[in-house]
Structure 1
Amino acid sequence: MAHYVLSRLGSTLLVLALSSVGIVALLRLVPGDPVAILAGADSTPESRAAIRAELGLDQPFWEQYAGWLHGLVTFDLGPSYRLGGDVGDLVAAGALNTVVLTAAALLLASVGALLASVLAVLLDRPWLTALLSAGNTVAVAVPTFAISLLLVLAFAVYLPVLPAGGAPPDGFASRPDLAVQYLLLPAIALALPAWATLTRFLTEALYTQLRAPYVTTARALGIPRRRIVLTQALPNALPSAVTVLGLQVGTLLGGAILIEAVFAWPGLGRLVEQGISARDYPVVQVLLLLSVAVFVLTQLASDLIHAWLDPRIRLKGAH
Structure 2
Amino acid sequence: MISFLLRKLPSVAVVALISSAIAFILPRLAPGDPALAIAGSDATPEQLAAVREQMGLSKPLIQQYLDWMFGMFRGDFGQSFIMRRPVTTVIGSRLESTLELAFLAMLLMIAIGLVLGVLAGSPRSKWARVVLDIMTTLFLATPPFLTGLLLILFLGIFFPILPISGEVGFFENPWLALQFLILPALALALPQAAIVARLLQTAMNSARGEDYVDLAKAKGVSPGRITWRHVLRNSLGTAVVALGLRAGDLLAGAIVIEAIFARNGLGSLAVYSVQSRDYMVLQVLILGAVILAVFIQLFSEIILAALDPRIRLES
Q: TM-score, normalised by structure 1?
A: 0.95
**Mean Cα displacement is larger for which, 119-128 or 210-219?**
119-128
- The alignment's C-alpha RMSD in Å is 1.3
- Once residues 193 and 211 of structure 1 are traced to their aligned partners in structure 2, the CA distance between those partners, rounded to angstroms, is 28
- Report the counterpart of residue 316 of structure 1 in structure 2: 314
> Do the aligned residues in 1 keep the contact of 2:204 with 2:232 (CA within 8 Å)?
yes
Q: How far has the Cα of 1:262 moved from its partner?
A: 0.1
Correspondence for 1:237? 235
Summarize deviations over 1:154-206 as a string: whole Å, max 9, x none: 111121121111111xx212322211110110010000111100000111111
Q: Match of 2:110, as an amino acid?
A: S
Q: Flag the structure with more relative contact order, 1 or 2, with Cα contacts below 8 A and sequence separation at least 6.
A: 1
Closer/same/farther in 2, CA of residues 133 and 290 from structure 1, 3 Å limit: same
From 170, 173, 179, the equivalent of 1:172 is 170
**1:14: which partner in 2?**
14
Cross-structure match for 2:112: 112
Q: What is the rounded CA distance, in whole Å, between the counterparts of 2:215 and 2:250 in structure 1?
A: 40
Taking the aligned partners of 1:191 and 1:215, their CA distance within structure 2 comes to: 32
Shift in Å, 1:81 = 1.1
Partner of 1:223: 221
Structure 2 residue identity aligned to 1:219: K
Number of the residue aligned with 2:212: 214
What residue identity is the alignment partner of 2:202?
Answer: E
- 1:1-319 to structure 2, matched below 5 A, reads 1-168=1-168, 171-317=169-315
- Structure 2 Cα separation of the partners of residues 302 and 2 of structure 1: 15
Q: Is the 8 A contact 1:205 1:237 kept in 2?
A: yes
TM-superposed CA distance for 1:138, in Å, is 1.6
Q: Is the 8 A contact 1:9 1:300 kept in 2?
A: no
Could you say what secondary structure the match of 2:277 adopts?
A: coil
| Higher alpha-carbon deviation: 256-265 or 141-150 | 141-150
Identity fraction in percent = 41
Work out whether residues 39 and 48 of structure 1, in 8 Å CA contact, stay in contact via their aligned partners in 2: yes
Task: Map Cα deviations across residues 278-315 of structure 1 (whole Å, 9 max, x no partner).
Answer: 10001100000010011111111111221222222233
The Cα offsets for residues 77-122 of structure 1, whole Å up to 9 and x where unpaired, read as: 2321124432111111111111111111111111112122222333
Structure 1 stretch 112-121 or stretch 225-234: which is displaced more?
Answer: 112-121
Measured after TM superposition, the shift of residue 147 of structure 1 is 1.2
SS in 1 for 2:234: helix
| Structure 1 range deviating more: 90-99 or 115-124 | 115-124
Structure 2 unmatched ranges of 5 or more:
none
Q: With the length of structure 2 as denominator, give the TM-score of the two structures.
A: 0.96
1:15-35 C-alpha deviation (Å, 9 max, x unpaired): 001110121122221111111
Q: Deviations over 1:130-157 (max 9, x none)?
A: 1222122221222221111111111111
